[in-house]
Amino acid sequence: MSTPLVTYEKDGYTVKVFADEDASTADPRDADNFCTLVFFGKSRGLGDDHGYDSGDYSGWSELTAAVEANVPGGIVKPVYRFEHSGIALSTSDRMFRACDPQGWDWSQIGFAVVTAEEIRANYLRKRISRKLREQAEGLVDAEVEEYSKFLNGEVYYFEVEDPEGNEVEIEDGVNYGFVGMETVTQEANWFVESLKKAA
């Protein structure tokens, strides 16, 4: 039997969080996503399918210009990969530069891309204001962070025991495949709150 990573009390119920060994079912890139992750090199098998070939360009500067030309008015953010006993992805290299200034364990691997049409459709707006663009960029950052957690195996499921110590029966699929500890505890708490309301 698996040992819970976290156990806590919520409204008289006991919540147990476990590592989800079948993490492949939780790949966030299999869902509808806001951005497209365009990766190259050894990271080409990650992210999303795309039609770019890095061999057609002389370097990142030329490749960036080509991608930006294909999404006028959209968002093109660099994505960096840090690999050292795990994988971390980020749209900012600041943290990676701080812990590895020489760049031995990190480098740019591609881009997170969103077209202007996708921004307008997602937010139901005709015009992309500065504030809307900032919100859209925040959503891109969040998707890259979620994918980073998935690649590191941060996928969880939860179980709940009632105040008498009996395991609560949960509908199949409701309690597993959550990426990130914050997400699984949030979902578990919502589940417990629904039990309280139904009682």
Instruction: Determine, yes or no, domain membership for 111.
Output: yes
The answer on 111 and 86 residing in a single domain is: yes
The answer on 40 and 131 residing in a single domain is: yes
Instruction: Determine, yes or no, domain membership for 1.
Output: no
The answer on 114 and 48 residing in a single domain is: yes
How many CA atoms lie less than 13 Å away from 126 in the CB half-sphere?
Answer: 0
Contacts of 31 (CB under 8 A, 6+ apart): none
Domain that holds residue 50: 32-151
Q: In this predicted structure, what is the pLDDT of residue 191?
A: 96
Residue 93 tokens read as: 């290299």
| Percent of the chain predicted with pLDDT > 70 | 98
Instruction: Give whole-number Cα distances, 186 to 20, 92, 172, in Å.
Output: 16, 27, 18
pTM over 0.95: no
Average pLDDT of adjacent 10-residue blocks, the chain of 199 residues: 91 95 83 94 88 91 95 97 85 82 85 98 96 98 96 94 94 88 96 88
The answer on 83 and 38 residing in a single domain is: yes
The answer on 15 and 49 residing in a single domain is: no
Q: In this predicted structure, what is the pLDDT of residue 52?
A: 93
The answer on 85 and 144 residing in a single domain is: yes
What are 9's strand-pairing partners? 14
91-124 residue pLDDT tens: 998 887 777 777 778 889 999 999 999 999 999 9
The answer on 41 and 16 residing in a single domain is: no
The answer on 120 and 174 residing in a single domain is: no
Count of the separate structural domains present in the chain: 2
